Chain A
Amino acid sequence: MRVFTWIVPALVMLVLTGVNAKAQSLTEGGRVSGNFQLDAQVYRADSAIGAYEVEEKMRMNTFANILYTNGNFNAGVRVESYLNPILGYDPRYKGSGVPYWFGSWKNEQFDITVGNFYEQFGSGLVLRSYEERNLGYDNALRGARVKFMPYQGVTIKGLIGTQRFFWEQGPGIVRGLDGDFALNEMFDKNGVCKTRVVLGGSFVSKYQPLEDIVVNDTSLLKLPANVASWAARFNLSRGGFSLDGEYATKLNDPSSINNFIYKKGESMLLQATYSQKGFGVIAALKRTDNMSYKSKRTETGNALDINYLPALTRQHAYSLSAMYPYATQPNGELAVQGQLNYKIKKGSKLGGKYGTDIALNYSRITSIKKETADGETAIGQSGTAGYTSPFFAFGDQLYFQDLNLELQHKFNTRYKLLVSYMYLNYNIDVIEGHPGDPMVKAHILIADMTYKYDTRNAIKIELQHLATKQDDGDWMQYMVEYTMAPKWFFTFSDQFNYGNAEKDRQLHYPTVAMGYTQGSNRLTLTYGKQREGIICVGGVCRNVPASNGLSITLTSTF
């Protein structure tokens, strides 16, 4: 393995020096580009909000990407440095190094990548390797990937690799094969048929060497070294109507997350949408049953996921509506979601000069119904088949429900207003690991007004209110933002937990921020307090600590 890791960059180097030594016309067209980001935080202890003393006082995350392109050839590196990782990031990132590098070559039929790469099959239900730098998420695959496009409309992908585990590689090897067939491009090149059909299928298998795991005191498990999964998907669209579906299943995969049961995993995603100018409606259904798929059996954290299980909820942009975010329960959930978007026409009475945008959204997520596999063994007992679950039955536990209405209206060239109301049910017992705590029921109201007093200067005022009788009680937040386009912005905000039952926990979280942008370079400074959070994923609960201090972010693309 050690030999392999330096051979690839050495090869890349040889190819380039070789190319450089030849006629200059070959290097013509070679381009270097990249980006750079630095996040630093300076901490102060604040016992009132629970911000503990940080020994280093300052922590910093940095990364830089460099990309070289020359015709059909691409190569790149990313250098990362976490000295030490800022609070909220996994501490195992501590250190510096080059975790990501690759070389690729492509033409009309082939696309070959060697080194580290990201990939998604379908919706990611069996394989998705991606990065989310601002959350510290990175499960890049390291190995080789080949994409083959033998015929228009047909794409075949094959890959093999190990996954990133901070500065090392995980113990498992992932192999995958995917085929995507756009039937219209294959058989109907003239575009006669009005219906578009796309079909796809994937097969993924992971290998991890066998190990000894004992459950229930005395049972030594007979583990599968190879665990396979496959998925089938379709996509139909005609005019403004479209229907997408994907079904995935995984064979026996006893792991820490599912408590070592041998039941197969299943997940299904079905979405129907209809839209035309001024109107759009979506309905979606998702079922997940034992679909956590990792390349290390005993991993319980946020690392080494082979697949991706998206939460079927709306991502909210305002802090109080995002205060109780839902986290997908890989062991079992059944979700429905509906969304309606409508624009009241310009010129009509309610629409005004510019029209009014209305968005209505509803999601509901419950557990799945679990029944004993053979009538005797307890549900979810380690070392057994686990349980059975009827496919479309909703379980007894409500995990999450939200109903949200949003109206947006531009009055004239100066005033814009957005108002939003949300009703939320949040099962804090399951999602944050607070057994016995009642379901959080909250009403959230938001008003976001923008006033432009000349072409380049504007003031934005946001008012938010969260009312609940559970957990920490009522919250209110206001924010004032002053922008001088295109370069500057200044913000002042405060989050206040005025409704907390305990008087000494009625805390303020004020922050001030400013930013400067020049082209693709941006610098922001934020000073203030930040609330803590708890995340529970697969049997481990992690606390993102509260913090108080200065935060600096510098980002640039070149």
Chain B
Amino acid sequence: MAALSVLHACDKISEPYSTTIGVTDTAACPVPEFPAVTVVEKRVLLEDYTGHTCVNCPKAALTARNLKETYGEQLVVIAVHAGFFANPTASGDFTYDFRSEAGTAWDNFFGVGLVGNPNGLINRLGYPNNHITAPAGWGNAVSTALGTAPLVDLQMINEYDNDARKLCTHIKTRFITSIDRNLKLVVVLNESGIIQPQKNNDAEVGEVPVILNYEHNHVLRGAINSSWGNTVAQKGTANPESVVKTFKYILNGEYVAANCQVVAFVYDDETKEVLQAIEKPVL
């Protein structure tokens, strides 16, 4: 059996052995001056793992929307379309592909799709055995997470050149207390206002069995740096006062820039817990 597993468990990689990620291009994107911060705000990240053929998901998206109305900027929502119910069908109404490499990577790692949809992660707390929360528990989890003081502060400035479809996003990570952990920064692009069909089984939320003109919001389009991010702090190394990272990203032709937002979050690489998040529109 060991022999069999060895036979199948080899991955042979061919050149080139690496791909470049998150290279900052300060020539194309000159770093601006960040304003001083007077009040540090704690913001919580809610990831809603969903899919367009998932019949119970519109109700969960409504829960997320209500929470966003209650908490405003303090809640950052990403709708991660991944797993079986996000797969495009060969023909019919559900051929649109909402998936992204980052979303699929997160779903495979956290196993959310295998547990079922809809389900969510709040600040990725409770990993590895108790991180998946059903929509009914999101309200409680978000308010509990907001109750803890932030250890890190994030600021973001976006500049967008419409003709070149070039987005320059600058993120400043400031350490409020000294943190001796391995921290990483992930930056992603979301798009709202995508009108595509969505399966539904709750008449109070929309038409059953399909909402043909459903508005998909906060859809994760892709990572601007990479699925698991760049290091901003290392164990054993003293934190600088702040770290500024700049990324250049060219928006895909079909994305509507006015509906796009950039989301950045800092997380602990060992526990996967998200320490702080921020969201700013592209325009």
Contact = CB atoms under 8 A, between A and B. Distances in A.
Contact of A541 (B55, B132, B139): B55
Nearest to A435: B209
B200 A435 contact: yes
A433 B201 contact: yes
A543 B113 contact: yes
B199 interface: yes
Which of A40, A55, A502, A539: most chain B Cβ within 10 A?
Answer: A539
B115 A92 contact: yes
Interface in A243-265: 255-256, 260
Contacts of A502: 90
A545 interface: yes
Interface stretch (B3-11, B241-249, B270-278): B3-11
B56 A540 contact: yes
Contact of B1 (A40, A301, A545): A40
Which of B117, B130, B134, B143: most chain A Cβ within 10 A?
Answer: B134
Interface in A161-214: 165-168, 211-214
Interface stretch (A106-114, A292-300, A308-316): A292-300
B139 A299 contact: no
Given A165-B130, A542-B116, A260 B136 contact: yes
Given A57-B5, A213-B136, A433-B201, A300 B129 contact: no
A300 B57 CA distance: 13
A407 interface: no
B23 to A, nearest CB: 26
A540 B111 contact: no
Given A42-B4, A57-B5, A91 B55 contact: no
Interface in B82-109: 83-85, 90, 108
A78 interface: no
Contact of B55 (A42, A299, A435): A435
A95 B54 contact: no
Given A217-B66, A543-B83, A301 B115 contact: yes
Given A211-B140, A540-B56, A436 B1 contact: no
Contacts, number: 117
A95 B118 CA distance: 24
A522 interface: no
Interface residues of B, number: 41
Contact of B139 (A43, A214, A537): A214
Contact of A256 (B4, B111, B134): B134
A541 B117 contact: yes
Interface in B48-94: 54-56, 66, 83-85, 90
A441 interface: no
Contacts of A283: none
Contact of B115 (A43, A91, A545): A91
A167 B140 contact: no
Contacts of A166: 129-130
A545 B13 CA distance: 27
Contact of B136 (A91, A94, A297, A550): A297
Given A212-B143, A541-B54, A550 B4 contact: yes
B5 A433 contact: no
Interface in A507-558: 537, 539-543, 545, 549-550, 552
Contacts of B90: 502
B128 interface: yes
A95 B130 CA distance: 13
Given A58-B8, A300-B134, A433-B201, 15 more contacts: A42-B4, A42-B8, A42-B9, A57-B9, A94-B128, A165-B130, A168-B130, A300-B116, A300-B136, A539-B56, A540-B116, A540-B117, A541-B55, A541-B117, A552-B4
27 contacts: A40-B5, A42-B4, A42-B9, A57-B5, A57-B8, A91-B115, A167-B129, A211-B137, A211-B140, A212-B139, A212-B143, A298-B133, A298-B140, A300-B136, A435-B201, A435-B208, A435-B209, A435-B210, A436-B208, A502-B90, A537-B116, A539-B134, A540-B116, A540-B117, A541-B117, A543-B114, A552-B1
